[in-house]
Each structure stands twice: as C-alpha cells, then as structure tokens.
Amino acid sequence: MFKGALFDLDGVIADTSVYHFQAWKKLIQDNFQQDLPSQLEEQTKGVSRADSLQRILDYLQIEVDTAKFQQLMQQKNEYYFQLLQTLTPDNILPGIKELLQELQQQKVKLALASASLNAPVILEKLQLSDYFAAIADLTAVKQGKPAPDIFLAAAGGINVTPQDCVAFEDSIAGIQAINQAQAFSVGIGSSVELAAADLLFAQTKELNMAQIETSYQQWKEGL
C-alpha cells in the first residue's frame, strides 16, 4: 500500500483551470485588445503563471519589458482571485471528496502539489483544508512543472519517499513532473494527451481505489 498521495489542484480537485483562462482572456483583451484562441488553454494548464504568460505573449508575438511583464502577472492574479470568490464545496469535482475520505481512512498522508499560489485559499473555499498535511507551491521550488521539484517538495512535506506516493494530475506537464519525481502517476483526462501516465482515468468520477492500489503494487514490484 502506498503511504502518500500527492494532488494537483486545478482540474483534479476542482475545475479552477477554467477560471485561469477566463482571467488570461480578460487580461489580454484589456491590455492588447486581442482574443485568445481556446487551443491555448491546454498550453497554460499545470504550468506557472510566468510560463503561462510567456507562452501567451509568444503566441501573440507580443514583447514587453520586465516591469510590464510583472504588472501583467499581478493583474491576471487579481482577475483570477475575483473569480475564486464564487467557489464553494459544490465546485469539488465528482468522486474527489469520497477519494480523499477513503485515503484518510487508510491513513495515507495527503499533500498538495499545485502551480497555483492561491492553493490555500482554494482549499479553504472548498472546505478541504483539513485533509492535507502539506502544501507545496512554486515559492518553495526552483522550477515548476514539468520539472519534478514540486512533487518532490510535496512528498518531502509529508515525509514520504516519492516511490511510496501516488500522484494525481490532469496536465501533460504534471504527468511528466510526477514521472521524473519517480512517483506513481495517475492521469485524469484524455488517453492521447496523458499517455505517459502509469494509470489513466477519463474523469475524476471514475477514480477507483482498488484499481489504483493494484496498479501501484504492480508498478512498485517492477522497480
């Protein structure tokens, strides 16, 4: 049995990724009077705010100086924070609350590994703070996803080795980060996009503890 469970936040616990892209769209419209195409949303999932902004600016072929870049990041976070005020426990994705309860009953330690600097606020809005023994965020690591740093920090926060952890992600960058951290990766979403995951579920409501345990044991035996 694994000893730790590491969770991404956006798209795994709650679908706050849609708020991120709404904030990016408003930011670009307000500052540059341009529209962001929907295909850019996937490129901004799971990565840091700075990396997301750089990808958006590169796509739009816009160059800004360092001061403007910082101002845009701050403005985007203000838009996003306003949207977060509407969050309630009803925004928890299907099956997640039950999984957290089951993990807690099994004495599995839980940690959050999120690119969001607003993670503590989001957990509080969702009334899930008490489930997590540790929160690792980008302020505590050198590199964001797809580097393994944040998952290593999350595992360290609960004093469990990565090989004894199962980690849940919905982004390509996140799965790459988990695999590099040498934890067991559980992907949630498209099988094409997340093919590198050790175990894949199409949606959170399909998460199955028995299947996760069996697959993890087989994976651990193969190390």
Q: Where in the chain is the domain with CATH 3.40.50.1000?
A: 4-15+88-221
In the chain, ranges of CATH 1.10.150.240 domains: 16-86
The per-residue pLDDT for 137 is 74
Per-residue pLDDT of the chain (223 residues; tens, 9 = 90+): 999 999 999 889 998 878 889 999 999 999 999 999 988 888 887 778 999 999 999 999 999 999 999 999 999 999 999 999 989 999 999 999 999 999 999 999 999 998 778 899 999 999 999 999 999 977 778 898 899 999 999 999 999 999 999 999 999 999 999 999 999 999 999 888 899 999 999 999 999 999 999 999 999 999 8
d(CA 143, CA 161): 19
Residues 162 and 111: their CA atoms lie apart, in Å, by: 12
157's tokens: 């926060």
- Nearest Cα neighbor of 199 from 175, 223, 164 is 175
Taking Cα atoms as reference points, which of 207, 211, 213 lies closest to residue 188? 207
Secondary structure (DSSP) of 154-189: HHHHTT--GGGEEEEESSHHHHHHHHHHTSEEEEES
What architecture (CATH level 2) is domain 4-15+88-221? 3-Layer(aba) Sandwich (3.40)
Q: Cα angle vertex 17, ends 195, 121, to 5°?
A: 125
Helix (H, G, I), strand (E, B) or coil at 59: helix
Residue set of the binding site for substrate? 8-10, 24, 52, 76, 114-118, 145
Amino acid at 119: A
State the catalytic residues: 8, 10
Binding residues for Mg(2+): 8, 10, 169-170
Bin 164: left if φ > 0, else alpha if -120 < ψ < 50, else beta: alpha
Q: Name the CATH superfamily housing domain 16-86.
A: Putative phosphatase; domain 2 (1.10.150.240)
